[in-house]
Every structure is written in structure tokens, then in C-alpha cells.
A and B are shown apart, each in its own frame.
Chain A
Amino acid sequence: MPELIEKFSFYLEFPFVRYAIIVGVLVSLCSSLLGVTLVLKRYSYIGDGLSHVAFGALAIASVLKLTNNMLLILPVTVAVAVLLLCTGKNARIKGDAAIAMVSVGALAIGYLLMNIFSTSANISGDVCTTLFGSTSILTLKVGEVYLCIALSCIVLLTFVLFYHKIFAITFDENFARATGVNTTIFNLMIAVIVAVIIVLAMNLVGALLVSALVVFPALSAMRVFKSFFSVTVAAASISVACSLIGIVIAILAGTPVGSTIVAADIAVFGLCYLTSLVRDKRG
């Protein structure tokens, strides 16, 4: 054990390891907060759909040789998030069908563009890194870290300031509208925040594993806690802890960062599930 601590202290001397931990904690915190709302609103799979859209946008940005990919990825993902979350019941293609269509469509177009207009010698490597985020979190530039900190602060501040409104919309949108809450504006706000989180989380776990960051902490917390506030706090704590554990194990053992974080999330979900089973039997 002291050897592992010494080894990790040695790795902490590298700036990219510190950046990975900062960004990892912030992204997992933000994703878990909105995760509770998305799971309760039956939009668990939207993270997956939007991350595929972000992948498609990344492919277009690569083809256009944009120096800052974010200038294209963020607006495109936000626009699709607004379309999926805000058109809702009035849309001609509804809910899961719309998410599935956008998800696979963006993934296919993205891969097609990357192959036809290849700008890199290692397409499969680029695709693999984007989809699974093997080491993306450890190769962040200082500018990307600052951008992530700024966007995470905006997301956290928005969530804290509008906590009661988000709570109302999550459980009963019609009742919230009847009490004077402008649900259209708040649904729009949630859509924008979800898109921002998905784009940030792609660096941490990759496009294919983003949903895990949104869904697992919320579901784990829901096994053990009952109120919206306690579930939100527990989901945030579980998400941050799993991300830290995942990053530390990945760095020490040389495993892929994204899948190690998700494995930690699955293990905690298993523990929470067992805890709820034992409690129910005793009760």
C-alpha cells in the first residue's frame, strides 16, 4: 500500500494527471446532478444519443480542420438537445424513436466523414479514442481544462439557483406550469445543460460510455435514498468517488480510464442494490 501511495504521489507531479483529476471530478459532479432529473423524466438514454451527435460534429470539425473543435461540437449538440427535449409531445417522431434515429444517424455519418475525408494516418485510433476515451482525459491542454472549469461552474450555479424549478419540472411538468413556472424556458435550460455536460464528459469516458456517468450514480442513489434532495446529493457523491477511484486505478494499473470509471460505477450500483434488498427484507 505505501508503494502505491508513493507511486501515485510520483504521478501527481505531472500536470496532465492533476488536470485529469480536476476535470474528472467536475464532469462527474455535473453529470450526476442532471442524471437524477433525466432518469426521472425517462430520458436516461439521451446522453448516448447526444454523445453520438457530438461524435458526428467532431468528425465534421476534423474534416473542416477547425483548430478549436468545441466551436462546432457545442452548438450542434446543444441544438439537437433542444430539438429532442423541447419538442417532446408535439414532435412527429417522438421520444425514444427520435433519440435512436439521431444517435445512429450521427454515428454513421461521423464515421463515414472521417473515412472519406481522412486527415489522420490512424482513423481507427481516432475513432476508438473518441468512442471509448481511452486516454483523452490525460491528454488535455490547459485551455481545455479552463474551459471545462468555466462550463462546470455555470452548470453547477444554474442547478443550485434553479433547484426548486428543476425539481418541479422533473416530477410534474403540468403542475409546474399551472403554478406559473415557465416550463418551456426551463426545459430549454435543461437541454442546454445536458448538451454541455455530454460534450465535457466525452473527454472523460468517451462517447459510448457517457450514459453511464448520467445513469449509474442516479440509479445507485435511488436504491438507497428516497427524497429528491438526498438522491441528488448521494448521486453527486457516488459519481465523484467513482470517477476518482476509476482515474486512480487507471493511472496505477494502466487500464483504460473511461471503462475503469464505469466499472467502479457498476460496482457501487451492485452494492447499493444489495443494500436496498437487505433493507427491504428487514423492513
Chain B
Amino acid sequence: MNRGFALFTLLFALSAFFAAPPAYAEKIDIDLSRMSGTVVYAMVNQMVTEPQKFKGKIVNMSGVFSSYYDNETNQRYFGCVISDALACCSQGLAFELKKPHKYPQEYPDEGTEITIRGIFDIRTEEDGVGFPVIRDAEMFR
């Protein structure tokens, strides 16, 4: 009986370990992946135009992977982009992965569907210009 109980406990613990949800799974503040395209577009628009309101919130969003190399800062920026219902306008949020990845080997191809989960923040550049970013992000394909 005791052996059976111990084995059950071990299996339960192992299953819990292997099926462990991503770090932020249980405390997502804004889950954009649950919303319709129209609402997601409006929500991201608000996050970009009024970033202070969302600072520190844990965001989960699905979209298309995109990257951009800035010659002035010699830095590559990564983004998760969504389109509006007419597909003529796009809104996106930059993200910085929690664990450093090598580009392009460890990143998906441009246009690949991805899900990003991380903390919404405002990154201020050296010139004082700020932009919204999802930091400490995890990326799922």
C-alpha cells in the first residue's frame, strides 16, 4: 500500500514536472491570444500609444514573427506583429527573450506564427526615445 502510494506520488510529481506550464502561465494579465482579431488590434494600438498604463503587466500574444536590424544602434530588434481585419494595417510589439538566442539559427523564419509571453515594459534608448517591449519573454511556435 505504502509502495503504491509512493509510486503514485513519484509519478504525479514527475508528470507535474514534465507538464510544467510556462513560467507566466497562471498569472497572465492580458491574454491577447484569447481575443478576436479586431479587439487585439485595438488593444495593441492602445498599448503602443499609452504604454504607461500597461507597464509591468504580463502579456501573452500570438502573431507573426518579424525582425529589424537598426544600422544606427547596430542592434537587431524582434517583434510579434498582428494585422487588422482588413489586413492593411499592422501593429506589433517588440520582444526580448529571457534566454539569449542566436540569430538566425534559433529564431523562426520571418512570417512564422508565434506566441510571446513576457512582461510589458518601456525600453528607453540612449537618445531618450522610449518604445514598448515585452521583456523576459518566452517564445512558442
What is the interface of chain A, defined by CB distance below 8 A to chain B? 11, 14, 16-17, 122, 124-126, 128-129, 132, 134-135, 138-139, 250-257
Interface string of B49-68 (1 = CB under 8 A from A): 10000000000000000000
**CB <8 Å contact, B36 and A134:** no
**CB <8 Å contact, B89 and A138:** no
**CB <8 Å contact, A128 and B86:** yes
Query: Which of A129, A132, A251 is B36 in contact with, Cβ under 8 Å?
Result: A251
Query: Which of A17, A135, A252 is B41 in contact with, Cβ under 8 Å?
Result: A135
- CA separation between A125 and B89, bound complex, in Å? 5
**CB <8 Å contact, A256 and B85:** yes
Residue of B nearest to A255 (CB): B85
Any chain A CB within 8 A of the CB of B90? Answer: yes
Contacts of A252 in B (CB 8 A): 36
Residue of B nearest to A247 (CB): B38
Contacts of B45 in A (CB 8 A): 135, 138-139
**CB <8 Å contact, A128 and B38:** no
Residue of B nearest to A139 (CB): B45
**CB <8 Å contact, B36 and A253:** yes
**CB <8 Å contact, B39 and A134:** no
Query: Which of B41, B86, B88 is A138 in contact with, Cβ under 8 Å?
Result: B41
- CA separation between A125 and B45, bound complex, in Å? 14
Min CB gap A108→B, angstroms: 19
**CB <8 Å contact, A135 and B85:** yes
**CB <8 Å contact, A129 and B85:** no
Further contacts, 9 of them, CB under 8 A, given A17-B39, A128-B89: A11-B35, A122-B89, A129-B84, A129-B88, A132-B88, A134-B86, A252-B36, A255-B38, A257-B85
Number of interface residues of B (CB under 8 A): 17
Query: Which of A14, A16, A122, A132 is B86 in contact with, Cβ under 8 Å?
Result: A132
Residue of A nearest to B37 (CB): A254
Min CB gap A246→B, angstroms: 11
Contacts of B38 in A (CB 8 A): 135, 138, 250-251, 254-257
A and B contact pairs by CB, cutoff 8 A, 7 listed: A16-B42, A125-B90, A132-B86, A132-B88, A250-B85, A253-B36, A254-B36
Known contacts A251-B36, A252-B36, A254-B36, A134 near B42 by CB under 8 Å:
no
Residue of B nearest to A19 (CB): B42
Q: In the complex, which residues 75-107 of chain B have their Cβ closer than 8 Å to any Cβ of chain A? A: 84-86, 88-90
Contacts of B39 in A (CB 8 A): 11, 14, 17, 138, 251, 254
Residue of B nearest to A128 (CB): B88
Min CB gap A188→B, angstroms: 37
- CA separation between A139 and B86, bound complex, in Å? 15
Contacts of B36 in A (CB 8 A): 251-254
Any chain A CB within 8 A of the CB of B43? Answer: yes
**CB <8 Å contact, B85 and A14:** no
Residue of B nearest to A16 (CB): B42
Any chain A CB within 8 A of the CB of B9? Answer: no
- CA separation between A257 and B46, bound complex, in Å? 17
Best-surrounded residue of B38, B41, B88 (most CB of chain A within 10 A) = B38
Min CB gap B95→A, angstroms: 20
- CA separation between A14 and B32, bound complex, in Å? 12
